[in-house]
Structure 1
Amino acid sequence: MAILLTGAAGFIGFHVAQVLLARGDEVIGLDNLNDYYDPALKRARLAQLQGHNGFRFCEVDIAEPEDVKAAVGKADVRRIVHLAAQAGVRYSLINPYAYIRANMMGHTAMLELARHLPNCEHFVYASSSSVYGGNTKLPFAVEDRVDSPVSLYAATKKADELISYAYTHLFGFPQTGLRFFTVYGPWGRPDMALYIFTRAIIEGRRIQVFNHGDMQRDFTYIDDIVDGVIRVLDNPPPPDESGRPYRLYNIGNNKPEPLLRLIEVLETAIGRKADKELLPMQPGDVPVTYADISAISHDLGFNPVTPIEVGIPRFVDWYRRYHKV
C-alpha cells in the first residue's frame, strides 16, 4: 500500500514525507519543481528523501491528469496527501492564471484520480487560513463564514473546499481539508517573511514591515504541523449528520504573535538588529490570523508545543548551515 504525496519537494510536503518514510510507509512523491522560488531548494529537499527505499519521485504537473495517472501506474494507492499548490498571496496579483491552473485544475485532477482508485481510504488536502479573508471575529473557527476572500489565492483555496465537498457528496470517499496557519521552520519557503527577514538582517539590508508593524500571525512550527497532518491522515472522518465523510480543520498554533515580536526574537537569534522600513498594508493581506484549533484538538489530540522562541532559532541555525553564512 502506498501513500501519494503531492508537493513532495515543497516545504510541508518534504517534512511530511520524512515522517511517513521514517515510520515505514511507501511514498510516491509528485512535484513539478516550478520556479516560483529557487528550484535548487526543492532539489535539495528531494536529495534528503531519495535515499529512502520506500520513496519514489515523479516530476509531474498535477494539472495534467494523464501524467498524474501515468506516474501512479499500478501502485496500490489508498491514501493521498495533496499539498501541491501555487502558494503566495502577493504573487496572485501578478500571475492569476498560475493559481487557477495549479489550485483548481490541479485539485480537480487529484480528486478525479482519487475517485477512480479501487479503494481510496482518505484524501487529505491543503487549504489555507487565507480563506477567512476580512473576518474580524477572533479566533477564526471552521464554522465561520468564508465567502469574502481578499485575494485570488484565498478564493482558489475556498473553491477547492467546495469542489472537495461536492466530490465526497457524489462519490463517497473520505476527505479532510486543512486550513494551515503561517507555517515556518527549517527548509522553509524563501517567499515567506521569516526567510526574507533572516536573509536581509544577515546581509545588513533593510526589511520591509507592512501595516507599520501592526500585524499578528498565528506562526506554527513545521514539526507541529506535520504532527497534525499525520494524525489527520491516520484518522479518516466518519460520516457527518448528512452521511458524508468530510471535515475541515484549522491547523495552527492557537497563539497569534505580533510581527514586531517575531522580529525581536529573530534579531536575538541572529545577533544583529534589524533596520526596519515601516510601510502601509499590502493589497490582499490581513492584519491578524488566529486559529481556533478546538475541533482538531478534541477529535485527534492535536497540541502544538513549539513557541517562536524555540522555533525561530532552529530556523536561523538551519539557514546558516544551508547558506553557509
Structure 2
Amino acid sequence: MSTTLALAPATQTLPAASWSSRALVLPPLGNLDAYIRAVNQIPMLSAEEERECARRWREQQDLEAADKLVMSHLRLVVAISRQYLRYGLPQADLIQEGNIGLMKAVNRFDPAQGVRLVSYAVHWIKAEIHEFILRNWRMVKVATTKAQRKLFFNLRSLKRGFKADADDDAVGRERLTEAEIDTVARELNVRREDVIEMEARLSGTDVALDPLPQDDQEDHHAPIAYLADQRHEPTAVLEARERERLSSEGIEHALAQLDERSRRIVTARWLQVKDDGSGGATLQELAEEFGVSAERIRQIEAAALKKLRKALQAYA
C-alpha cells in the first residue's frame, strides 16, 4: 500500500452507494508528517454541526456532509494508529486502514442514539487496523479465531506486566510459567492451549526462503536450498532411472561379455555376500577353488573389471 494519504474534495459528486468504499484522499502533501500537520489543522465539528451533518447524510445522502464528518475525525485515526506502531508496520498504512474504518463508522452512524461520532468510530477504526495487522504482520496468518485475536493484541502487554513484577531470578526469562499461563487464560477467558499456541507463534520469526546474500557472505545457503525436495525433480528422476537400468540390465549385459572364470571371480568378489554377511570371497578362497595363486586371481579380476567398465559405457 502506498504511503501517500489524501482526501477526496467534498465537492466531488459520487453516487452515495460508492462513497463508503472510496479511498480518502488529500492533495499530495509530500510525507506523513505533512499529512498529520494538515489533518490536525482541520477544525472539529460542534455537537450540533455533527448531528446536522449526520442527519443530512442519512436522510439525503449528502456527500459534502459525510466528508465533513470524516475530515473532522481524521486526527482521531492518527492518534489511534500510534497505539499499533509496535507491530512494525508503516504508520501511513495503519492510517489508511483506520480511515476506511472511519468511513464505515460515518456510513452507519445514527445521531439519534445520543452518542458522539468519536465514541462510535473508535470501534470501527480499531477493527480495520486489527484486520490489517493480522493480514500483514506475518506471511502466515497468526490469528483466525476470536480467542486468538484477543490473545494477539493482549498477550504482549500482559507479559510485560509479569516481567515488571518478576523477581531477580526471573530476569531474562522469556517464556511464560505455568502459573502465568493460567493467569492469562483466566483474565482473557480463553483456553490454556490457546495461550501456549499464541505465545509460540509470536515468539517465532519469518525467514525468507531465498534471501539476497550479504556482501560478506561467501558461502551463502538460503533455506530454499535445503528445503527443496529433489526426489521429483525431472533431471534427478531420469538419473535415478538410468542408474537403476545400469545396475540391473547393464550389469547383466556386461557380465555376459566375460568368460566363465572371469564372471565367477567378479560375481564372487563383488556381487555376492557370504552367509555370515562378511562380504564377498577373498582372493585366497578363489585361488584354492581354481587351483592358482592369489596373485593370478587378482590379475584376472583386474582385467575383468576393466572389460566390465567398457561394456557398461557401451551399453549406456
Compute the TM-score of the two structures, normalised by the length of structure 1. 0.22
Q: Bigger radius of gyration, 1 or 2?
A: 2
Answer 1 or 2: which has greater strand percent. 1
Answer 1 or 2: which has greater helix percent. 2
Q: Which has the higher contact order (CA 8 A, sep 6+)?
A: 1
